Structure 1
Amino acid sequence: MIRRAHAAWRGTGRDGDGDLTTDSGVLDQTPYSFKTRFEDEKGTNPEELIAAAHAGCFTMQLAFLIQRAGFTPESLTTEAAVSLSPDGGGFKIDKSALTLRAKAPGLDQAKFDNLAHQAETSCPVSKLLNAEITLDATLED
């Protein structure tokens, strides 16, 4: 399986702008720029997209693991907060902090903690990231 995205850029790094398009059409000339990345202009940025990918991948992986353990999750909600930090003359993504809130009737805390940790380490996006990954997982009643 191969998934594709396309980036176009016009102008300099600080004053230019670009757009991102995915083959699925979910992103269709979605704007990105210095201001969408480092300020609060409307649009997206690579770190936000990585955060979305990590949250989505982890949450789906956990759903599969909970199902394999014989339970049905009522809800799984994950936020991924990706940190962009200075690195020499540039920047690096050095952390992805996952915050999970889950409801899964019949699943005990110990099993939940084990499955959440498995999902954290086994989802393909976690495997791709060269960053510290933290997990704050709460099983709600």
Structure 2
Amino acid sequence: MKFTRKAQAKWKGSGKEGTGHLSTASNVLKETPYSFHTRFEDKQGTNPEELIGAAYAGCFAMQLSFLLNEDGFTANSLNVNADVTFEDGSITQIVLDLEGDVPNIDCEKFQQIARKAKEVCPISKLLNTNIQLKISLNN
């Protein structure tokens, strides 16, 4: 399967005083504001790091769901938090914190499948950083 997804960034002004807007073809993001202030000062709007975190958490959860299904399991829920660390001009680490509720699976099997999902998730393959995975299972 091959497809292309489209997103657009518009920026006006300088790096610190300027402002930008992000949009996606699906219109989930439509002129969503971002700026120096939303990236570095916790102002209202989005930023590249949280978008990467959302993309990675979503991709990983879906990949894990597929792998669980391949082994005969179906999750009641998979909750994934992604903490993206920006330091000195680089994304230096991403911590995925996974909490799963999967009937009839033992902890070791769940961890094995989750580690595989981390390896084969398309966003994992894309990112060139230290990616850590934290796992907890609630049965």
- Band of TM-score, shorter chain: over 0.9
Task: Give the aligned partner of residue 4 of structure 2.
Answer: 2
Amino acid at match of 2:4: I
Task: Could you tell me which runs of 5 or more consecutive residues in structure 1 were left unpaired when the two chains were aligned.
Answer: none
1:51 matched to 2:49? The reply is no
| TM-score normalised by length of structure 2 | 0.97
SS for the counterpart of 1:116 is helix
Q: What are the Cα deviations for residues 45-99 of structure 1, in whole angstroms up to 9, with x where unaligned?
A: 000000000000000000000011001100000000011110xxxx011111000
Equivalenced residue count is 137
What's the % identity of the aligned pairs? 50
**Root-mean-square deviation over aligned CA pairs:** 0.5
Query: TM-score with structure 1 length normalisation?
Result: 0.96
Structure 2 counterparts to residues 1-141 of structure 1, below 5 A: 1-86=3-88, 91-141=89-139
Could you list the runs of 5+ residues in structure 2 that have no partner in the other structure?
Answer: none
In the TM superposition, structure 1's runs of 4+ consecutive aligned residues that sit over 4 Å from their partners are: none
Which SS does the other structure have where 2:37 is aligned?
Answer: helix
What is the CA distance between 1:40 and its match in structure 2?
A: 1.4
